[in-house]
Amino acid sequence: MGFSRAELESFRDREIPEFVPPRPRLLFVGINPGLWTVATGTPFARPGNRFYPALVAAGIIPRRPRILDDGMPDEDRAMFFDAGIGVTSVVPRATARADELTKQELLDGAIRLAADVERWRPLVVAVLGLTAYRQGFERPRAKAGRQDESIAGASLWVLPNPSGLNAHETLASLADSYAAPAREAGIIP
């Protein structure tokens, strides 16, 4: 994959289609799409993002999917959908960094996400980003892990974001975190 800085900037403020099967068992929720994500049409596409390596390390998917300039190949997308895994974002607008979002966007995104979860009916929702969750869902004291509340009837987890900017998390700690909701959703034993 290769995009110039100018090419990536041209994707700012755009959105990507949802990456969700008809009946997901587990819905991973990022904060918002990055520029690489919109450029490729693939969630967590930025080189160096640890989302896919963490899913492989946790045993959630068997291998790292291929991400090409024009997206994820159908057979790799099927690997997620056949397992019952979907990926969406709290805020659909693409930025270079999540800290470019406003608190209002996070609040509005939380409302939109609840409506999407109501429509898709996953068993488990895993929000990847504690600070964004605290702001968007107005839970300033929330801790990482399984939450006492649900979202539209789905179990709710709040887990670390896989971005390289979240440097205190390791690939192993991300894999451990992501395995827990996958177990609850019945994706891994």
Q: What is the pLDDT of residue 183?
A: 98
CB 166 within 8 A of CB 189: no
> How deeply is 106 buried, as exposed, middle or buried, from its count of CB atoms within 10 A (0-12, 13-18, 19+)?
buried
Are 185 and 27 a contacting pair, CB within 8 Å?
no
User: Which helix or strand (DSSP H or E) is residue 177 part of?
Assistant: helix 171-184
Domain 5-184 has CATH 3.40.470.10: yes
Amino acid residing at 119 = R
Residue-wise pLDDT for 144-166, tens only, equals: 999 999 999 999 999 999 987 78
pLDDT at 167: 78
Predicted TM-score (pTM) of the model is 0.96
Tell me, what's the pLDDT at 56?
Answer: 98
What pLDDT is stored for residue 1 in this prediction?
A: 59
Q: What is the pLDDT of residues 129-144, one digit of tens each?
A: 999 999 999 999 999 9
| Amino acid identity, position 61 | I
Of the candidates 167, 158, 187, 169, which has an alpha carbon nearest to the alpha carbon of residue 26? 187
Q: Is the pLDDT of residue 2 over 90?
A: no
Higher pLDDT, 50 or 48: 50
Q: Quickly count helices (H) and strands (E) in the chain.
A: 7, 5
Are 46 and 22 contacting, i.e. CB atoms less than 8 angstroms apart? no
Per-residue pLDDT for 37 more than 90?
A: yes
Structure tokens at 31: 């904060």
